[in-house]
Structures are given as structure tokens and as C-alpha cells.
Structure 1
Amino acid sequence: MIDLDDQDQRPARPGADPVTDGRKVALGLVAAFVAGVVLGGVGISQLRDSRAQRERNAVVALVAVPRSANLGGSSVQGSVQLSGLLMVVNTGPAPVTVRGVTAERPGVVLRSIEDSRLLPAGGTGQVVVELRFDCTTAFQSDPLSLRLSVETGDARTREVSYPVALFGSEWHRDAMTMC
């Protein structure tokens, strides 16, 4: 028989205190919440750092300067074909690989003749190019727009344009000796 009027406040389990058990559960929940906030903050920080690194690796900043064009060449009826050097400086924050260089306008055709050149951040390299000039129209005062195909650290290929002044350059001087 069970007496329901009994005012005995003893716990149902020996050694169990409902107030202490509630505090333990609340403390466990607070600890789990704090751990979740800390781990979430670390994860977000890592995600931001990774995104910033990817953005830095995607930046391409190059400077191109004509160098000597006396690596060999030929002249035929007012047209000159030369092999020369193009100095390329990587002013960007990450290494890039120059895959190719091309340019074309009336009187001028340029293309790289080597496979690729790795340029570290802040580094300089020379690309061997083949140049064809029409002696009467090639050396105008407006710059020649070079198209550089580069691969960035994220393995993507990008096209970059850079204007180069031909008139007064070493390429101009070397070509004029053959015209």
C-alpha cells in the first residue's frame, strides 16, 4: 500500500539531489555552448584566412620591358625578324608562371618561343620572344599592347595586358640596324 499523503521529501534515488542535478545539467549546457562558440570562432577565422590567401594568389601585377633583340635575325625586303628578350617583373604578392606572350598590330608581330617562366613574388625573369617588324610602319609612338598568359598559385590561367613603348626601345634600336 502507498500513502500519498506522506510529506517525506527524501529523493527517489539514494544520493540524488534534484537541485544539484539541475545545476550539473545547466553547467554542462553552458560548457557545450562556450566550446561551440570557441570552435566556431576558430573555424571562421581559418575560413577568412583561407579566403584572403586565395585572393592574394589570384592577384596578377606584372611589368614588362623590352630588352635586347640581337639574339639573331634576318631582313627581307623591308621586314625584319629578330629573336630578343622581354624582361618581366612580378610586382604581385604571389608567384606566377608566365605561359606565353603575344602581341600584334599593323607592322608588328610578337610571340614567345619558350614554354614558361616561373616568377616569384617580386622576382624578375626574361622571356625569349620572336619579333617581326615592318620597317616602315612598326615603330609608331603609341605603345604595343602585350598579352601575357599567366598561371597563378590557384592553378588558374589569366590574360594580362601591358603596354610597351617600342619607339626608342632596345628592340627599336636593334631592328633599325637591320632595316
Structure 2
Amino acid sequence: MSAEHEVIDLDERDHRLADSEGAVPGRRVSGRTMTVRLVAAFVIGAVLGGVGVSELRVSRDERARNASVALVALPHDSVSGGSGTEALGVIQLDGQLAVVNAGPAPITVGAAVGQRPGIQVRDTGQSRLLRPGGTGWIEVEVRVECSSSIAFESEPLSIRFSVETADGQVREVSHPIAVKGSAWEREAEMPCAYLSHSGRRGG
């Protein structure tokens, strides 16, 4: 074997050891930097995720609020008319429904219809925009059969409303109104009494 291969260069070995030892601190710094970056990325992701969830919740709550409907209705004291058809024993009153928007968003109240034996209520085709907490008056025609004994019974009359919500959706909402003892009943008494008297006299 040649003697050249048995000679070990100590300077070359020292340089290799120095390079190897010098690389360790560099790797440690890189590892620490990577850890910091991972933690920062996690924190930023958590913050952005929280913001996204919060915005989604706010958007969902707003949609639910805009779609919700809560209203209260009752016969208004303003009544006129009292015209009747003697042959049919029916009178027609021009009345109003007071409608209160008890919901959290604006609504537009359109059609209002209610019916049972002896009485029929129908709107005149006008709509009302109601702000939250606001009250509007819906013009209605009230037809009463004077011969009916249950037109103004104690049971409430259910009125079906067509309502457009703030998100543009149209929904039907029903609300009972008390007609017993209302201005509608009081206004119908005299014309019905007249028709009844005329009918008996004619017979």
C-alpha cells in the first residue's frame, strides 16, 4: 500500500470539525425562527377565523331579524257607511284595522282578509309600510249578515295578512281580532235593526 494513503491531514480534519460545530448554532436559530413563525401563523389564523365567525353570526342574525314578523291588529273606532241591501239582509261598513308592527324590522302590510259565518272583512287594496313599533291603519270593508247570530260572537275573528318583510320576502301572517263589543258591532246595530223592521213590515 502506498504511503501517501496512510498520511492524515490534521489541518483538514480540524477544518471539518470546525465547520460541523459552526453549523449547529445556525440550525438552532433556524428552528427557533420556524417555531416563532408557526406560532404567529396560528395566532393570525385564530384571529381571522374569529373575525369570520363573528361576521357570519352577525349576518345570520340580521337575516333572521329581517325575516321575522310580529304584528298586533284590532278594529279601529273609525267606522262609516252602514249601507245595506234589504233583500239580502246584508250591510256594509267602511272600517279600519289598526296594525302595530311589534317586530324588529320594517314590514309592508298588504292584503287583509277575514271571514266566518255572518261577517266578512276585506282590505281595499292599499298597503302600509310600518317601522318597528309603528302603527298603521288599513282600510277595510266589513260585510255583516244581519240575520246571523254568530257574526259578532265572543270568539275572535282571524285576519290573514299578506306581509312583505325587509328582505323582500312575502309571508302570510294571521292574527285574531275581537269584534264582539267593537265599533263594527255598534255601527251595525242600527242598520240591521232597520233592515229587520223593514223585512217584517214588508212581509
TM-score bracket, normalised by the shorter chain, equals 0.7 to 0.9
Contact 1:145 1:162 in 2 (8 A): yes
Tell me which amino acid in the other structure corresponds to 2:111. G
* 1:156-171 map, 5 Å: 156-171=169-184
Tell me how far apart the structure 2 counterparts of residues 54 and 161 of structure 1 sit (CA, whole Å): 22
Tell me which amino acid in the other structure corresponds to 1:113. T
Cα deviation, 1:46-103, whole Å, max 9, x if unaligned, reads 1112212222222221111101453435211220112211100111222211121001
- Equivalent residue of 1:178, what SS? helix
Tell me how far apart the structure 2 counterparts of residues 7 and 73 of structure 1 sit (CA, whole Å): 114
Aligned match of 2:19: 9
TM-score by length of 2: 0.77
Among all aligned residue pairs of Structure 1 and Structure 2, give the percentage whose two residues are the same amino acid: 51
Which of 18, 27, 31 does residue 18 from structure 1 map onto? 27
Aligned match of 1:70: 79
Aligned match of 1:106: 117
- CA RMSD, Structure 1 to Structure 2 (Å): 2.1
Give the greater-gyration-radius structure (CA). 2
Tell me which amino acid in the other structure corresponds to 1:95. P
Contact 2:154 2:178 in 1 (8 A): yes
Contact 1:108 1:132 in 2 (8 A): yes
Contact 1:100 1:148 in 2 (8 A): yes
Tell me which amino acid in the other structure corresponds to 1:7. L
Is residue 43 from structure 1 mapped to residue 49 from structure 2 by the alignment? no
* 1:8-157 map, 5 Å: 8-9=18-19, 17-68=26-77, 70-77=79-86, 78-137=89-148, 138-157=151-170
Contact 1:69 1:174 in 2 (8 A): no
Change (3 A) 1:149 1:102: same
Equivalent residue pairs, number: 174
- Structure 1 unpaired stretches of 5+: none
- Equivalent residue of 2:133, what SS? coil
